[in-house]
Structure 1
Amino acid sequence: MPRLFWKFFTIIWLTLATSVAVIILIVNLFQAAPFSRELERRQQELVLSLAANVLERNGEDAAQRFTRTSEDTASLGLTISKTMSSRACADEHRAETRLILKDGICYRISVSGKANVVLDYLALMMPWITILVSSTISAAALARYLIRPVVHLRDGLSALAHGRFDVRIGDKMAGRRDEVTALAHDFDASAARLQELQDAQQRLFHDVSHELRSPLSRLQAAVGVLRQSPTKLDAMLGRMDREVERLDTLVGEVLTLARLTGRSDLLLKAQTLDVIDLLNDILSDAAFEAQAREVSITPSVDGIFNAEVEGELIYRALENVVRNAIKYTAEQTHIAVLCETTTDRLKVWVTDQGPGVRRDELERIFQPFSCGDDAISRGGYGLGLAIARQAIERHGGRVYASLPDAGGLTVTLELPRKPTAYSPADDQA
């Protein structure tokens, strides 16, 4: 059962129990019972009727004996007296009196109970007053219990609406442990995620601007050289071609990353492919690139893993991880690529023998325009691993890095056979 249900149940149950306890307490204090006045009135009517019947049938002496016996049993102030005139029997009529005409004599039979009007009224109203007070206290407690976190949630949502993503309300729940508290912590997680996305967006704008400025500056420099020395046309055109190619590569990678991160609801153009066969093609091409630095790489891996994937994205993800390993591994070393398949999942390990990264940078290297602080710059823009993670996560998989005991860096890719819903928060678990 949810905690909030039990809290409401406990408050209502305590309210009812308190109401009963207060009623019992008041009854004991004031020696009064609910509806006691009504009971006493009915008792008086019964005694008056009995006394009148005894008087009419058996005479005055029998009626007096009944009166004494009745008073010894329950003292109601029952008395029998004679009036001065027989005509009084027709003149006086009250609830506490019976007038009986017997043998030409008018008898008055009356009761004078010890009724206390205040206590009788209190006894009559006591249950309703107790219920009203206890329900008011209970309603106030429930309202306060619910309204306080709702006010915090409203203030938090208002802050988000105004672009303030640093607001947190989980610490304002005053030690509560129920569904409302869980909602507050979910709000904090959402606010933190929005703040992270905003910071990433600002950082992306800054980094893209910085990366675009460098080739543009070199293009401007080449144009300036051509204006001063037209004879260097061939050399400067080659330089300009390289810079334009760098710009095209950067813009292509930025657009790919934007496509992956900007539309989480974008449908995949899935097709059935052998992912291991795709990986072997990448390894075959990468072997030529690795020879330039006297680096060897696992030529191929065995197995078959047919999966429903978007081929272009998976190809980019695998290629980026492999080329990143070639780029940062030390010269004359080996890059190991291993695979493991299960019924519904493929796991790929790519291990280099480079400088690696610090343990606190294992997540940061997957952010755009980011690499380890100790890594030697070897070109590129720091978008490869970011694109790889987004592409694999779009299929419901995982990409993460680890530090092997022998040094270097291992990047692990996990890909399901069929695309599934995935949240990056799963990595934190």
Structure 2
Amino acid sequence: MRWYRSLYWKIFLAIWLSSVLVILATVVIVGGMSHHERDAEVQEARARALVERMLERHEEGRGFERLQRKSSRNAPGLRIVELGTNALVLDTLPRRGPGARPALTFELDSESGRRYRVQVGAWPQREQFGRFLGLLVSVQIVLILLVSALTSLLLTWLVVRPLKRLRLHTRALAQGDLAVRTDQKLAARGDEIGELAREFDTMADYVERTLGASQRLMQDVSHELRAPLARLQAAAGLLEQRLGEGDPLLQRLNRECGRIDRLITEILSLSRLEALQPALEAFSVQELVAELMEDIRFQQPDRQLSFELPKSCRVRGNRLLLERALGNVFNNALKHTPAGTAIELTQATVGKQHELRIRDHGPGVPADTLEQLFDPFFRQRNGAESDGYGLGLSIARRALRILGGSIEARNHPDGGLEMLIRLPVA
């Protein structure tokens, strides 16, 4: 997920930017008003000092044009008139048309006792951008922005951190850990996040009870079916003694009894997986795959098999779980591909995971049913009747999840179905 899509940064930027805009708007408006008043006072003081020096030089007969240029290159226009004589001493005010007024007018007495009326034009205003830039780099504004950023980070952390913890609990529940619950601190909160955590615990309780009841129901039904199945098989044996082995009806009865027996076995295997303990010992995947390959060669001698696994490919957990998972994947490939086609297994280590790719050279499956392959009792209809019950890949997925791994199906670009199995490195 890209950083700008994160809820953390969205909340932080929303709080911080709104705080910054309010602070800057307040500072600009209030600062602009005070700056205007301060500018008027400063301009009058500067004008009085400049005019006093100019009149001193004027009365001494030394001239003041050079002083005016030296005092300020951006000096305002001036009009100085000696009262009593109305003599014009200096006039550099710009002509702005009729009705134009100077920015400042005052009277000044020189040291010789003469009195003058002074009219001062507006001093050149500082550029607005320069004022704003100076405001931004001022110590006060930097401190305000820094405190606002830290406050926004704190508020965002207080909101997003519990949501991340709740997301981890949700992911654990989705991966099959039905006993997961939110921690006590999260559930004890009195705000909306605490309510959400308590609702999550309620949902997890319901899911655990529902799935547990479903698993117990499958186990109970399977066990209950064992007794009538055994009686049917015994009755079939008695009929075989009376009618002989070649009777078509008897053969049909034996075949159906065998199918029911296999279905019960797979259902019990699916429901018992959760009871298997994920042992901590490490074992070699290469040795396990070699044993499975030998079984396949015994069943189908004409099958082309190719596997590349280093001795360093080792995982930690219950070996029986991985054997069940890989065995079901291989059996699925054997059932749905022609006998002469190849089955390939390759291995790669990516980070802290082993990636096993098992590819067959069959027709593949439609892309919209790839994920459904792992649903219990889902069977791909490809025109040929299958004797399976759609539990093999479901058992494989559950076994791999208990081991901390995963499995996904994809159609290979060159044809056939490819199973990608990820397992944590021992």
Bucket of the pairwise TM-score, normalised by the shorter protein: 0.3 to 0.5
- TM superposition score normalised by structure 1: 0.45
For normalisation by structure 2, the TM-score amounts to 0.45
